[in-house]
Amino acid sequence: MIPGGGQPNMQQLLQQAQKMQQDVQRAQEELANTEVEGQAGGGLVKATVTGAGELRALRIDPKAVDPEDTETLADLVVAAVQAANENAQDLQQQKLGPLAQGLGGGGIPGLPF
């Protein structure tokens, strides 16, 4: 029920929108500063990405390096980066998902949820 005869309070709506924008911006900053890891080959290859999906580090155990089989190493690198990105997407859902629900579930254009 909207008080005051059915007209929404525009000032209140603007304040809510500003707060939501600030909350989204804060969550995006947190994501950019939070690192998550993915691994492949039982930990032989580990990739670290930010919560925003930026690749920050790639560690390869020397045991994974076989000059005769670079395809397997490449596959492990791809799998580790994909796992790290999946973890980053999960983190995005945790941080930004509740904010999207506050928008009536419609989401915000340009945000990955």
- The reply to whether the predicted model has a pTM over 0.85 is no
| Cα–Cα distance measured from residue 60 to residue 80, given in angstroms and rounded to the nearest whole number | 10
| Cβ–Cβ under 8 Å, residues 80 and 74 | no
Whether the per-residue pLDDT at 1 is higher than 50: the answer is: no
Between the alpha carbon of residue 73 and those of residues 3, 61, 94, the distances in Å are 64, 10, 32
What pLDDT digit, counting tens, does each position of 52-78 carry?
Answer: 889 999 999 999 999 999 999 999 999
Instruction: Report helix angle 10-33 to 70-101, nearest 10.
Output: 160
| Domain 32-101: CATH superfamily, name plus number | Nucleoid-associated protein YbaB-like domain (3.30.1310.10)
Choose among 74, 73, 107, 112: nearest CA to 92: 112
